[in-house]
Structures are given as C-alpha cells and as structure tokens.
Amino acid sequence: MNHLSQLFSQLNAPKCGFENTPGMRYCGRCGSPLNPEEIEKVSVEAQKIKEYEKIINEITESMKQLKRKVNELKRDYLKLKESIQQKN
Ligand SMILES: [Zn+2]
C-alpha cells in the first residue's frame, strides 16, 4: 500500500502537477523528469549552466576592462611618440 502510493506520487510532475501514465520518465505536459534520479541530474545540470554563465560574464567583463586599458595605453603611446617627433 505504501509502495503503491509512492508509485502514484511519482506520476505527478513535480513542476506542473500533471498526472502521468505509469512508466513515463518525463511529464507529458511540461517535459520535466518524473523519477528522483533524473530530477537530481537536471538540477545538477542547471547548476552547472549557472556557473558557466557566471564565468562567461566574468571573462566578458575582464575583456572589456582589458580593452579599455589597451586603448589607454595606445593613446599614451601615440602622445609620447608625437612629443618625441616634435622634439626632433
Ligand atoms: Zn508536468
């Protein structure tokens, strides 16, 4: 009896509550996984995606700062070059 209720509770999609037919691995309505292992896997993958996005954002921001720095250096370099040419 306990086992049966467990089986039935897994038929309801955790995401939308839709009652699926037995043996389904994914919800027929929202496509979310129905067994605990699959649910865990998906949440681990979602966590990884978040981490990747964070790293990509950090690298993008660093590159912007680097680009700004390079432009500053170029400007200083050109100024210095100009001043040297004027002296000669
Ligand atoms: Zn669903």
Checking if the pLDDT of 11 tops 90, the result is no
Q: Where are the domains of the chain?
A: 2-87
- The whole-number average pLDDT for the span 3-8 is 53
Distance 26 CA to ligand 1 centre (A): 8
Q: In whole angstroms, how far apart are CA 68 and each of 55, 78, 80, 81?
A: 20, 15, 18, 20
Distance 81 CA to ligand 1 centre (A): 67
pTM of the model: 0.52
Distance 2 CA to ligand 1 centre (A): 23
DSSP for 47-76 reads HHHHHHHHHHHHHHHHHHHHHHHHHHHHHH
Distance 9 CA to ligand 1 centre (A): 13
What pLDDT does 25 receive? 86
Residues 36-87 have pLDDT tens digits of 888 888 889 999 999 999 999 999 999 999 999 999 999 999 999 999 998 8
